[in-house]
Amino acid sequence: MTYNTILTETRGRVGIVTLNRPKAMNAFNLVMLGEVFDALESLDKDENINAIIVTGNEKAFAAGADIKEMAEASYVQMLTEERVQVWDRIRGIRKPVIAAVSGWALGGGCEFALSCDMIIASESAKFGQPEITIGVIPGAGGTQRLARLVGKHLAMEMVINNRTLTAQEALQFGIANRLVPVEGYLDAAVAFADEIASRAPLAVRMAKDSVNAAFETTLTEGLAVEKRNFYPLFATEDQKEGMRAFVEKRKADWKGK
């Protein structure tokens, strides 16, 4: 599949999607949105891939939705075009998705990173929701995901008053998993993803589903989801292999079965 606004590559069991509209700070236009989710869904189906990275360039992960494309849009267009609805497709990706963020992650760019499962941030990363400065609010999950992640007061400040977080603050507030130097930030993210990709794939899938349930359910319902995901793993070859390998003091050889 040929894409116009993104690049794709694989490194071992890690698939990489690179946002590639550098002249527009990787702003998401409709074409890029379609291509990104198409690439993510292809990698999710690819049995040779166990983890996925989404990245931009050193200067910009993504500066949000394409303001120029959306500036004159009507209410009906916004309602009917796949401009914000399409973002829900990221929730359907079953493999772990890691955002490797350098430079600006603003508006929809920040929301995209927050929609991923983990974030590796370069020291130049900056996270913010500046929609208020252009007369709107986040429309791709920012108000909800930020409030759940950093709490009400900081989320309010970011959304209502355009507070931008430095990479160090993103680490401090639990947005970023790791802070790495700008130079080689993608390699660092690949090393991080590679470790995840080396783990039992079905257990990783169940783990992701279970942790995500914590944001959707009561504790009682969430604990039930966890058990529903725990028991079936005893029907997998990898559970037998993993536990036997522990007993036999050797490295497990995962089959993803």
The residues annotated as belonging to the active site are 65, 108, 111, 131
Please give the single-letter amino acid code of residue 202: L
Where in 50-69 is the site for ligand CAA (CB under 6 A)?
63-68
In this complex, which beta carbon is closest to ligand CAA, that of residue 27 or of residue 40? 27
What x/- string results for residues 64 through 93 when contact with ligand CAA is judged by CB under 6 A? xxxxx---------------x---------
- The answer to the question of residue 111 lying near ligand CAA (CB under 6 A) is yes
Give the x-and-dash track for 24-43 against ligand CAA (CB under 6 A).
xx-x----------------
Comparing CB distances to ligand CAA, the nearer of 15 and 138 is 138
DSSP conformation letters of 188-201: HHHHHHHHHHTS-H
Which DSSP category does 100 fall into?
Answer: E
The reply to whether 130 sits near ligand CAA by the rule CB under 6 A is: yes
CB of 24 to ligand CAA, least distance (A): 4
CA distance 3 to 9: 12
* 3-state secondary structure (DSSP) of residue 6: strand
Could you tell me how many residues of this chain bind ligand CAA (CB under 6 A)?
Answer: 22
Which listed range, 34-42, 46-54, 130-138, 193-201, lies at the site for ligand CAA (CB under 6 A)?
Answer: 130-138
Q: Which is nearer to ligand CAA, 131 or 238 (CB)?
A: 131
- Reduce the DSSP state of residue 23 to 3 states and report it: helix
Contact positions vs ligand CAA (CB under 6 A):
24-25, 27, 63-68, 84, 104, 106-108, 111, 130-131, 134, 138-140, 142
